[in-house]
Amino acid sequence: MNAVAMADPEVLDLLRRSQFVFEGSVTGVERSTVPDIAADHDSVVLRVDRVLHSPAALSKLTGSEVTVQLLPGSARLGLNETTVLFTTAVAFGQGILVAEVGRTTPEIVGGMSMAAGAMAVLPGARSGRAHPVLDAAHELADEQLRGHFDDVAAAVIGRVVSLQKAGPVVANEHDPDWWKATIKVDHVEKGTVAGRVGVLYPNSSDVQWARVPKPRAGQDGLWLLHDTPPERVDLAPYSLLDADDLKPTDQLDRLAGGGH
Amino acid sequence: MLVRLVNLIPASLSGEASQDSEPNIAVNPQKPTDMVATAFTPDPFHGPNAPIYVSTDGGQTWSLRNVVPGNGSFGTGDISVGFAGSGAMLYCGILSANAPANKTRLQILRTSNFLSVATMPVLVDRLGVDQPWVVAGTVMVGAAAHDRVYIGNNDFAAPNGQTATVDMSLDAATAVAPAGFSAKRIERAATSGQDGPPIRIALHGDGTIYVVHQRWTGATGNNVKMEVVVTRDDGWASGANPFSALADGANGSIGQRVVKGRTIVWNAIMGQERLGADSAIAVDPTNSAVVYVAWGDRLSASKPWTIHVGRSVDKGQTWPKKDLRTLVNAKNPCLAVNTDGVVGFLYQQLAGTGSVQRWVTAFEVWPAAGPDSAAPTILHTALAAEPVASFHPYLGDYARVVSVGKDFFGVFSGNNHADAANFPNGVTYQRNVDWANRRLLDLDGVSAVPDSIDPFFFHWTA
């Protein structure tokens, strides 16, 4: 894994509280591009010069205008002023309205852009170059993974060797449709697991369960396992309940060292 | 006449490709240019709140407000909305995505300003409840306007498997949580362990309230036997024993059975969509004795899924017309009646076979005498195999139509493939689209975006 510098604490804190980070230039003050939300003293419009961190659906916002509700009491921005804003969503229409969480300068964030979920090495990234937003995003992702690891009862690397229906047929739209995967364990990172372990998972495609991993025969992975509650523990000792309960095996390094 | 058909996804979300299924709609009856719609739409920023869609220009343009607590990977869970009869209070029933594993979590929300960007406050918060369905009205009590709000739901905490329930408040607008809401059990008869998910409500201005639910009477594996049951209250359900005004003509139990012994093959798949729980009800605003019910069933497990529409003209006591309309391989029936007694009927029907099967969304209006030979208006038609479902429901376990005056307003979800031929009566897309090359375009106006399921709004005027 590549060595990456520790994230700037201020950037890390801002990114933890925001979802959309961009560098922009002010094109209007006390103005709004969202027709049914009136502008006020805290409203500014910026042209997005560079998307630094965003969900995929907004990664191509460069060149568009965005309305920002500045933090009350924060320093005003003047026309043509350039800044980097950390924001959360408020409204989406013909235009976008976001709320400022905090700001920094273009010099601080460097020259890198990234979209949410992009954890691989990115074009333009190279060793020794500072990319504070990317570093912070990596660190937050690691923090989230380690937090999830702390929450589960067991974490193993193993291969799925069999699948079978485990729960009763229940005619409910949101019934999980419990199945059991038997996993041959190759490595135990957490918990007291050995040999083969039974893992319940919701096989339902219902909106409530679709995001939870559905093991496939022969599938390898890093499995993050929850204790099965007493009412189902006779079916299997562990359960998959969360979208993050299955990771690629190479993610183990991120758990072990906190590095990348 | 179709006034407009609009894709709800706004221009600023041109890059989205979520499965925005299971739509719902509320129209402010005092100002019908003000509307709220919902769907399984996540916060584009993956933040803590899910969005609602709002419009202030009669549905020509829509924008999103992230105001619903409990955003998940696909937005909130089931969500339904309703405006009060006056005063513009918006009520919302959701299944929060912030629920314990293996539990559903009903929350009832309220806001006095549907355009606000503030998180909607929670009035009721309860586990183990499914499919909230919001209907609201307003009545004058002396000089004071009282919002009467009724939220049908399937409450698995109800005793004896009598799960059909209405959470209701007789004055919901201003009181602190729970704002007068309490759960009233609709089901009085024995079930096979539960009722079906949809509990639908029709409200009349004279205080008559109809509720239709599906009483499950037996189940073997995924094969369920059910009865369609209508209950009624004649005074806003304000008495000591609400929803008990209608007794079955055959056995005297509370609730008149419209049909019995019908079959559901639970979670059967048709055109990538799951089946098992279609239901709708509407009352004639000119005559509260006239009530329409729609439901889906099979005559036996091997027969096709079929939508039926029935009518009663004696306050739900008898149902001589059980098949005013019969549609094979259809789902999501929606009913509303306008102030001329004209019925608006929306449905989604799978047409054709094999790889060329299409979901066809159609709207019909009938005179008070019943359906005539007029052809339905096709709002949308698209290949049923595309895009591939990322979860169920694919289009939705429901869609919705409401009436205000003589007009009908509706929402449905469907494949957003940018082919004008899929919209024989026209459509407006807010999101970026290249009609000539049949492509959706991203925010840059250049990059292609994959097809997905989007919510669509339509306005029909008589």
Pairing relation of β-strands B453-461 and B407-415? antiparallel
Interchain pair A60, B444: CB under 8 A: yes
Q: Minimal CA–CA distance to B370: which of B312, B314, B419?
A: B312
pLDDT given for residue A112 in this prediction:
53
Residue A193 touches partner B, C-beta closer than 8 Å:
no
CATH number of B2-461, picked from 2.130.10, 2.60.40, 3.40.50, 3.30.870: 2.130.10
A138 shares its domain with A179 = no
pLDDT given for residue A7 in this prediction:
72
A136 shares its domain with A190 = no
> For residue A32, what are the domain limits?
9-116+131-145
What total of structural domains would you count in chain A?
2
Q: A22, A84 in Cβ contact below 8 A?
A: yes
Structure tokens at A189: 């990172």
- Measured between beta carbons, the chain A residues lying within 8 angstroms of B65 are 90-91
A156 shares its domain with A238 = yes
What is the C-alpha to C-alpha distance for residues B335 and A46, in angstroms, rounded to an integer? 46
Structure tokens at B53: 């869609």
B101 CA to chain A: closest CA distance, Å?
Answer: 7
- Asked whether the predicted pLDDT for residue A191 surpasses 80, the reply is yes
A135 shares its domain with A233 = no
Structure tokens at A247: 């990771």
Interface with chain B: mutation pick from A36, A42, A178, A208, highest number of B CBs within 10 Å: A208
Interchain pair A55, B45: CB under 8 A: yes
Express as a percent the part of chain B with pLDDT over 90: 93
A34 CA to chain B: closest CA distance, Å?
Answer: 9
Express as a percent the part of chain A with pLDDT over 70: 87
Name the burial class of residue B1, with classes exposed (0-12), middle (13-18) and buried (19+) by CB atoms within 10 angstroms of its CB.
exposed
- Three-state DSSP class for A246? strand
A167 in any annotated domain: yes
Q: How confident is the model over B437-456, as pLDDT tens digits?
A: 999 999 999 999 999 999 99
Query: Which amino acid is located at A240 in the chain?
Result: L
Domain borders along chain B are 2-461
A33 shares its domain with A98 = yes
Interchain pair B392, A206: CB under 8 A: yes
- Asked whether the predicted pLDDT for residue B344 surpasses 60, the reply is yes
A33 in any annotated domain: yes
A172 shares its domain with A226 = yes
A1 in any annotated domain: no
CA torsion through residues A71, A75, A79, A85, sign = negative
- CB contacts under 8 A, B 103-142 vs A, are 104, 115, 117, 130-131
Structure tokens at A42: 């805290």
Interchain pair B442, A92: CB under 8 A: no
Q: How many residues does chain B have?
A: 462
Tell me what the pLDDT averaged over chain B comes to: 96
A125 in any annotated domain: no
A74 shares its domain with A185 = no
B162 CA to chain A: closest CA distance, Å?
Answer: 14
A243 shares its domain with A160 = yes
Q: A149, A143 in Cβ contact below 8 A?
A: no
Interchain pair B447, A60: CB under 8 A: yes
A136 shares its domain with A173 = no
From the list B63, B194, B397, the residue facing A34 with the nearest CB is B63
- CB contacts under 8 A, B 13-32 vs A, are 13, 15-17, 22
From the list B44, B131, B219, the residue facing A57 with the nearest CB is B44
From the list A56, A97, A172, the residue facing B15 with the nearest CB is A56
pLDDT given for residue A257 in this prediction:
57
Q: A236, A198 in Cβ contact below 8 A?
A: yes
Q: Does residue A14 come out as left (phi exceeding 0), alpha (psi in the -120 to 50 range) or beta?
A: alpha
Residue A118 touches partner B, C-beta closer than 8 Å:
no
A32 shares its domain with A138 = yes
Between these two residues, A128 and B21, which has the higher pLDDT value? B21
- CB contacts under 8 A, B 295-314 vs A, are none
A129 CA to chain B: closest CA distance, Å?
Answer: 28
Residue A93: give its domain's CATH number. 2.40.50.120
A198 shares its domain with A222 = yes
A23 shares its domain with A136 = yes
- Asked whether the predicted pLDDT for residue A122 surpasses 50, the reply is no
- Asked whether the predicted pLDDT for residue A125 surpasses 50, the reply is no
A4 in any annotated domain: no
pLDDT given for residue A109 in this prediction:
66
From the list B13, B102, B222, the residue facing A92 with the nearest CB is B13
In this structure, the number of other CB atoms found within 10 A of the CB of residue B406 comes to 12
pLDDT given for residue A111 in this prediction:
56
CA nearest B117 in A: which residue? Answer: A90
Q: B179, B172 in Cβ contact below 8 A?
A: yes
Contacts of residue A234, Cβ cutoff 8 Å, sequence gap at least 6: none
A232 in any annotated domain: yes
pLDDT given for residue A9 in this prediction:
86
